[in-house]
Amino acid sequence: MYYDYHMHCNFSEDSKTPMEDMINRSIELGLKEICFTDHVDYSVIVNNKEVDYNVNFKDYFKKIDYYKEKYTDKIKIKKGIEMGLQNHVLDKCADDVINNEFDFVIGSIHTINKSELIQRHFYEDKSQMEAYRQYYEILYSMISKYKHYSVLGHLDIVKRYGDLNNIIDDRVFADEIDEILKLAIQDGKGIEINTSSFRYRLPDLTPSSYILKRYKELGGEIITTGSDSHNTNQVAHKFDYIYECLRQMGYKYICTFDKMKPNFIKL
């Protein structure tokens, strides 16, 4: 049984898919439970203008509640959000989580210094080595202050938009990665395994097998599985494969969430 805990619909700026289509596809695939995690990204420069990618939480919750009820016999649907973290908007992100009753919050980096990683400006004035190091340092500094999340989204996304032919071995950043994982574990936070890695043709899982194993070695127990789907074709993509990978790495459970509290489901 699979649980897709990273899913976008047209409440996200970058998805056109109606929520109900994502739900129907999930039912078709036999998923037991899904969590919508639409994008909130504050303070992003787009075409020289600073914008906020917002979700209207009231409409969002209303819609989820409606479908929850409508499909109650077929699938469980949870209320999540994917918060795009940046140092200068952490208070705003915290307010959103405090003031709304989410089941689950993914804390992700999509943007650094108001510039989206996908635009690649972040990489322009530095070596790949410096880019990775800065990314991990920024992530660590944010989670030292910001605790309003359930799992860290695509923890090593810095690889995705850098030079894919020259991905630097995780052992080079073993200390930085350990620091992040230890802090997350100490705070009772998890990580997610994100199967968008296959769409982006990354040679490894996201996060890498190294990071997934290390999280476990350090005592981490909270892991969610997400497709990061933005359309119906991507729902639960490669989940048979990643569930097997997790088993082989020695993971015994994956997590679902209720009102920010993890439930452990036997793998």
Question: Considering only 70-78, 91-99, 145-153, 209-217, which stretch makes contact with Zn ion by CB under 5 A?
Answer: 145-153
* Nearer to Zn ion (CB atom), residue 74 or residue 119: 119
Instruction: For the segment 147-166, give every residue that binds Zn ion (CB under 5 A).
Output: 153
We find the least distance from the C-beta atom of residue 190 to Zn ion, in angstroms, to be 15
DSSP three-state, residue 204: coil
Q: Which is nearer to Zn ion, 118 or 174 (CB)?
A: 118
Count of positions (residues) in the chain: 267
| Footprint of Zn ion on 209-228 (CB under 5 A) | 228
198-228: burial string, b at 16+ Cβ within 10 Å, e else = beeebeebbbbebbbebbbeeebebbbbbbb
- Distance, CA of 155 to CA of 179 (rounded, Å): 13
Residues 23-82 that bind Zn ion (CB under 5 A): 82
For Zn ion, which is the closer residue by CB, 6 or 63?
6
Q: How far is the CB of 239 from Zn ion (least distance, A)?
A: 16
Spatial distance between the Cα atoms of 100 and 107, rounded to a whole number of angstroms: 16
Tell me the HSE value of 52 on the side-chain side, using a 13 A CA sphere. Answer: 9
Rounded to whole angstroms, the Cα distance separating 39 from 7 reads: 10
Q: What is the nearest approach in angstroms of Zn ion to the Cβ of residue 38?
A: 8
Q: Minimal distance in Å, beta carbon 109 to Zn ion? A: 8
Q: How many CB atoms lie within 10 A of CB 10?
A: 15
> Which residue in the set 108, 150, 227, 229 belongs to the binding site for Zn ion (CB under 5 A)?
108
State which residue, 43 or 74, has the beta carbon closest to Zn ion.
43
User: Candidates 108-116, 118-126, 211-219, 244-252 — which segment interacts with Zn ion by CB under 5 A?
Assistant: 108-116
The number of residues that bind Zn ion (CB under 5 A) is 4
For the bound state, the minimum distance from the C-beta of residue 12 to Zn ion, rounded and expressed in Å, comes to: 8
**Reduced to 3 states, what is the DSSP secondary structure of residue 38?**
strand
Half-sphere exposure of 128 (CA within 13 A, CB side): 14
Q: What is d(CA 220, CA 214) in angstroms, rounded to the nearest whole number?
A: 8
CB closer to Zn ion out of 196 and 256: 196
Nearer to Zn ion, 12 or 256 (CB): 12
Q: Residues interacting with Zn ion, by CB under 5 A?
A: 82, 108, 153, 228
